[in-house]
Amino acid sequence: MDPEAEECQPRLRRQLEDVDYVSVEFEGNKLSWQDVATYKASFDFLTLLLLFRACVPPGMHRFRGNIWDYDCKPQVMQTLGYPLALKGRIPEITEARNIELGLGLQICFMHPSKYKFEHPRFCFERLEYVGQKIQDLVMAERLLMKRLDAPGRWLQEKHRRVLMNKFCGRYLREKYLHRFIIYSDQVQDAYEHNRRLQNPATTAVNQALHGFSYTVYGKPDVRRLMFEVFDFEQIQPKSV
């Protein structure tokens, strides 16, 4: 291999501008990431959920009313038990939360192969990152409170075994939610020929759902998803 050869040179990074194309209110305007971070809607809802807005860009409103919104979202919400019966003091905030809930659920199922090249945040990667961390925290709290006398090394090993990535994806597939993941046509064809290729994607979607529930409803809803909906503490059969 010749390190000076043209094919051995590092590829130039794709220049993706972090710009949001938002709803009708801003039709024709571009917002920089600084504007998005300080974006305020008329009902001041987004200022209450800055972490949510950091993961779900305002440009997601372009996907409202698409096929996934009508066909898949009701089934996903029924399986996960959404929307939660919460009555806020301000009805506008409750209504806005339910709108954002649908947009957040859709981005949880957006594989990077579909829309990421249009906008770097139109995929589940940021919510997946939040979900990984909040899963670790909630599981640590659960183990510490249930095993008051357990040594730290045992807790670490138990924690690692319960939150193994292959189990996260398996729990999602057991609920048949993997059917609703949005892939590009090329990736979809590849996964049809080899179903095991989709396992990392199902794990990522499961973690993104936990990150999403934390940004909208907080840690109690993450506990509900982990221990009631997906049942992370179920005993797995030993490999033979």
- Going 34 to 40 to 44 to 49, the CA torsion angle's sign is negative
Picking from 80, 76, 111, 236, the residue whose alpha carbon sits closest to that of residue 166 is 236
Please give the pLDDT value at position 32.
66
Buried-state track 213-238, b at ≥16 Cβ within 10 A, e below 16: bbbbbeeebbbbbbeebbebeeeeee
pLDDT over 70, % of the chain:
77
In angstroms, the Cα distances linking 145 to 139, 141, 158 are 10, 6, 14
Indicate the SS3 state at residue 110.
Answer: strand
End-to-end Cα distance, the chain: 44
State the CB neighbour count (10 A cutoff) for residue 41.
15
pTM listed for this prediction: 0.75
In this prediction, residues 155-174 reach a mean pLDDT of 87
Token pair belonging to 61:
């409103």
CATH number of 13-229: 1.10.1520.10
pLDDT over 90, % of the chain:
26
Please provide residue 20's backbone torsions phi and psi, each rounded to the nearest 5 degrees.
Answer: -105, 130
In this prediction, residues 202-230 reach a mean pLDDT of 91
Picking from 122, 128, 76, the residue whose alpha carbon sits closest to that of residue 102 is 76
Condensed to tens digits (0 to 9), the pLDDT of residues 111-148 reads 999 888 877 788 999 999 999 999 999 999 998 888 88
In this prediction, residues 168-186 reach a mean pLDDT of 91
Which range, of 36-40, 90-94, 106-110, averages the lowest pLDDT? 36-40
Picking from 208, 55, 230, the residue whose alpha carbon sits closest to that of residue 134 is 208
Condensed to tens digits (0 to 9), the pLDDT of residues 22-68 reads 444 555 566 665 665 565 554 444 444 677 878 888 778 788 888 99
